[in-house]
A and B are shown apart, each in its own frame.
Chain A
Amino acid sequence: MLNRINALFMLAVGIVMALVWPAMAQDKPRSGGELIFAVPSEPPSYDAHQEETFGVIHPVAPHYNTLLRTDPTDKTGTKPVGDLAESWTISSDQKTYTFKLRSGVKFHDGSDMTSKDVKASYDKIMKPPAGVKSLRAASYGAVESVETPDAHTIVFKLKWPESSFLLNLASPWNFIYKADILAKDPHWYEKNIMGTGPFLFVEHVRGSHWVGKKNPNYWDKGKPYLDSYRALFIKSSSAQVAAVRGERAHIQFRGFTPADRDSLVKALGNKITVQESPWDCVLMVNMHHDKKPFDDKRVRRALTLALDRYTASKNLSRIAIVQDVAGIQVPGTPWATPPEDLEKLAGYGRDINASRAEARKLLKEAGVPEGFSFTFKNRGVPQPYEPVGIWLIDQWKQIGLNVKQEIVEASAFHSMLKRGDFEVSMDFQCGFIVEPDLDIARFLAVSDANYGKHKDKVMDELYLKQARATSPEERKKYLRQFEKRLLDEEVHVFYTLQWHRIIPHNAKVRGWMVTPSHYLNQQLDTVWLAQ
C-alpha cells in the first residue's frame, strides 16, 4: 500500500515537473543569439560625457561600465549597485566616499582597468580640459578631491554632504574611459570605442546600424548572454512599429504610443510582452513672470486649478503617452509625493467644480475679464505635446479663458523659450535617473532653464536644504515644502501629467526590465533571448 502511495506520489511529481520544467527552463538565462533593437535617434558623437541624447546610450552603453549603476532588477531605477565598484563605504559625516574596485577587469584591448582610469574619467567629467565639453560637470560641484590610494581604491571627498551623490555616480552617462588614451587625446572617445563593457565594438554605419559582439573576457563570468546586438537607427515611428511587428527588431527601448501597443498586441498576441512604467518625463506649463497678467500668482494659480487631472489621466492615457497624476517626482519612486499630500496642492483636488469656482474667483480678483485671451505656445511634436496642448486649452476654456494655441516647430522651440518669447508655454523635462537634485534644479532662479524668469529665494534655500539633508526624513520634509511653494503657493510653473513609458517587445526578450528612465538598463549584460 505504502509502495503504491509512493509510486502515485512520484508519478504526480513527475507530471508536475514535466509541465513546469519547460517554463522553468525558459526562465533560466540562455546564451546565444543576436538582440536587434530599433533606436529612434543616433549618436552625434560616441562620448557620452558630452552628449545629451539617448541615441548615444542605447547603442554605445553596452561597450562600457560605470562606477556604479542602478540595479537592473529594480523597477524604480533608483537603487545604486556596484558596477566597476565592488563595494563602498561612506564616512559618518557623509563627506568621504571610498570605493573598492573589482579586480581582473580589462579594457577591450586587454589592458587592466585601475583606479587611475576611474579618476581620469571623473576628472574629464568634472573638470574637462580646455576645448572639451562636459554637460554634467555641475552635478559634481560638491566634490573637493578624487584620490587613488591604490590601484583598486578610489576616494571621493566632498565639500558638503550631497544626498544625490551616489546616484550621480550611477549615472548612465559616466562611462569609464582609459586614462592613457585620455592623457594623449581627450577627444579620442568622440569617434572611438574602448571600454570594459560586456560587448566589443564591431561597426557603426551612420544612419543605418550599430553592431556589438560578446566580450569573451568580460569580468562578470557567464555574462553577457547574447552573442551580439544590432541597433537599427529608425527615425519613423511607423517603421519602428513595423520592424517589431515584422520581427525585424525585437524591441525599441524608448517607448511606443498606446495605439502602437494595441496594434502590436492585436497582431502578435502572445508573441508580444508589454512592459509599462511611469516615465521620468513630464510636460509642464511655464508662465512668463514679466508679462501681465501672469506676473500675478492668483492668475497662475487659476490656470492650474482649472485642470481636471484625474479625468484626463483616464482619457488621455488612451491616446497619448501620459498617465499618472504626479508632483515633482515620479510616482512609485522613493521621493514621490504621497497621494494624500498631492491632493492638497492647487489643481490636484478631487472636486474639480470647487477648484474651477476658486479659479474663476481668483481671476476676478486679479482683474482678468471673462473671455480673456492669451497665446499658448506648444512644441510641434505629436506625442504627447499635441493631445496635452488641446486638453489644456479645453480646460482653460472651462474657467472663461480664450486661449489661442501657437505650434512652434520643434527645432525652434528651445530658442523661443530661451528668448522668453511667450506668455504661457509648454515646457518639458526628461531625467536619466529619478533623483530630486537632477529633476528640480531647473526651478532655481539662477538656472538656465528658468524660462519664466521667476525669482524665489525661499525656493532656492529649500533646494539647498533638501540637497544637503543627511537623513531621508529630513530630505522628504524639505522636498514637500519645495513642492508646495513651487506648485501651490507661488505656482511658478505647473505639471500636467506624468509621461507613461510603454515597451511592447518580442516575448523572446528576457532579462530586461522597464524603469522610469529610457537611459537606464542599457548595458544589455543581463538580457537574453528565449527560444
Chain B
Amino acid sequence: MGAYLIKRFFLMFPTLLGVALVTFLLIRVIPGDVVELRYSGDRGSVSQEVIDKERARVGLDQPVWKQLATWLVGLAKLDFGTSMWTGAPIWEEIELRFALSLQVAVMATVIAVLLALPLGVLAALKQDTWVDYVIRIFSIAGLAVPSFWLGIVFILVLLVFFQWLPPMVYTPFWQNPWENMAQLIWPALAVGYRYSAVSTRMTRSAMLEVLREDYIRTAKAKGLWQSLVLRRHALKNAMLPVMTVVGVEFAFLIGGLVVTEQVFNLNGLGLLFVQAVAHRDYTLLQALVMLVAGIFIFMNFLLDVAFAWLDPRVRYA
C-alpha cells in the first residue's frame, strides 16, 4: 500500500505542471490585457504613453517565455506574486475569500450527505414503490434546477414574504455565528440540494447493485439482522462511488460557485475567478487555477487513499 500511495502522490506534480503550462498559455490568447482594461474605463481616452509605462511596470512588455520562466520560478517557491489589478499579494487576495468558499463548500457537503445517504438507501430498499418514486422525483428536480436559480427563488421568497434579505457582508463564524449562518445557510441550501441530488442517485444505484451481490444474500441467509447487513456489508461497499462523487463535487464547490456567489453577493473564490478573467489579471488567474487544480488533485489523492483503505483489492493489487 505504501508504494501505491507514494506513486499516487508523485503523480500529482506532473499534472500540476501540465495545468500550469496550459493555463499560462491559454489566458494569453484572450484579447485585451489588464492595463488596457484598467484605463479604458468610462472615458476610454488615456494616452498610449501611460498605457505603455504601466505595461512595462507589470512586466507585460517582456517576452512570453520570460514571463513564463519568472512565474514558474515563483511557483516553485510558492510565491504567486502580486495581483496585476490591485497590486496586493496574491495570497492576501485568496486568503480573504478562501474561508467563505470553504465554509459554503463544507456546509453544502454536509447538507448533501445528510440528505443523500438516507434517501439513496431508502430508495434502493423500497425500489419501485411510491417511496422510491418520490425520492427519484426529488433528486431529478435537484438535477434539473440550477442552484443559482434556486438561490434567486430563496431571495425572492425572503424578500416578498418576510421583507428580509440575508446579510451582504461576510462575518466569520467565531465572530458572530448567527450573522454568519444567516448569510451562508441559503447558498449552502441552494447548492447542497443540487449536490444531494447527484449523490442520492449515486447512492441508490450503488446500493441496488450491492444488494444483489451474493455476499448480501449469504449474510441474509445466515440470519443476520437487516440493519447489520445494510451497515456492515452493503453500505460500506456502496460507498466507494458515492465518495468519488462527493469528493469531486466538494473540490468543485471551492472555486466553482460563480453565479451563486453573484446572486448572494458572496465574496468567495468563484467571484474572484470571474473578476480575474474580466480584468485579465494573469497572475491572480494563474494562482487561482493552480489552487483549484491543486485542490482537485489533492482530493483525488485522498480518494485514492480512502479506496485503498476501504477496498482490499486496491491495496493488494
Contact = CB atoms under 8 A, between A and B. Distances in A.
B42 A53 contact: yes
Interface in B19-69: 30-33, 36-48, 50, 53-54, 57
Interface string A121-148: 0000000000101010010000000000
A501 to B, nearest CB: 13
Contacts of B30: 411-412
B45 A44 contact: no
Nearest to A442: B45
Nearest to A207: B267
B165 interface: yes
A248 B36 CA distance: 34
B165 A242 contact: yes
A449 B45 contact: yes
A178 B53 CA distance: 25
Contacts of B265: 232, 234-236, 239, 243
Contact of B41 (A52, A131, A207): A52
Contacts of A414: 32, 36-37, 40, 44
B73 interface: no
B47 A249 contact: no
A411 B163 contact: no
A131 B155 CA distance: 47
Contacts of A441: 45
Interface in B128-148: none
B167 A248 contact: yes
Nearest to B272: A207
Nearest to A133: B50
Contacts, number: 131
B43 A232 contact: no
Contact of B168 (A249, A410, A417): A249
A415 B32 contact: yes
Given A411-B278, A447-B45, A448-B45, 9 more contacts: A205-B267, A232-B169, A236-B262, A239-B263, A248-B167, A281-B42, A411-B279, A418-B36, A429-B45
A412 B93 contact: no
B224 interface: no
A236 B263 contact: yes
A427 B42 CA distance: 11
B87 A45 contact: yes
Given A45-B86, A45-B87, A232-B169, A429 B42 contact: yes
A209 B48 CA distance: 33
Nearest to A414: B40
A190 interface: yes
B262 A235 contact: yes
Interface string A164-207: 00000000000000000000000000110000000000000111
A400 interface: no
Contacts of B32: 411-412, 414-415
A246 interface: yes
B50 A135 contact: yes
A441 B46 CA distance: 12
Contacts of A233: 267
A99 interface: no
B252 interface: no
A54 interface: yes
Q: Is the interface of A mostly helix, strand, loop or mixed?
A: mixed
Interface string A51-84: 0111000000000000000000000000000000
Nearest to A519: B42
B298 interface: no
A489 B170 CA distance: 57
A383 to B, nearest CB: 14
17 contacts: A44-B38, A44-B87, A52-B41, A52-B43, A135-B50, A205-B267, A206-B88, A206-B96, A207-B271, A239-B168, A246-B164, A267-B159, A414-B32, A415-B36, A428-B42, A447-B45, A448-B48
A206 B41 CA distance: 20
B264 interface: yes
Contacts of A531: none
Contact of A208 (B40, B45, B267, B278): B267
Given A242-B165, A246-B164, A415 B46 contact: no
A172 B279 CA distance: 24
B287 to A, nearest CB: 15
B263 A133 contact: no
B163 A135 contact: no
Contacts of A281: 42
Given A414-B36, A429-B44, A248 B271 contact: no
B97 interface: yes
Interface in A77-106: none
Nearest to A417: B44
Nearest to A408: B31
Report the 10 A-B pairs with minimum CB-CB distance, sorted nearest first: A246-B165, A414-B40, A430-B42, A449-B45, A52-B41, A412-B31, A207-B267, A236-B262, A208-B267, A239-B265
Contacts of A418: 36
B72 to A, nearest CB: 26
A516 B291 CA distance: 44
Given A209-B169, A239-B262, A415 B31 contact: yes
A453 to B, nearest CB: 14
A248 B45 CA distance: 36
Contacts of A417: 44
B280 interface: yes
Contacts of B42: 52-54, 281, 428-430
Interface in B109-164: 152, 155, 158-159, 163-164
A507 to B, nearest CB: 16
Interface in A381-426: 409-418
A448 B46 contact: yes
B180 to A, nearest CB: 14
B186 interface: no
Contacts of A416: 31
Nearest to B45: A449
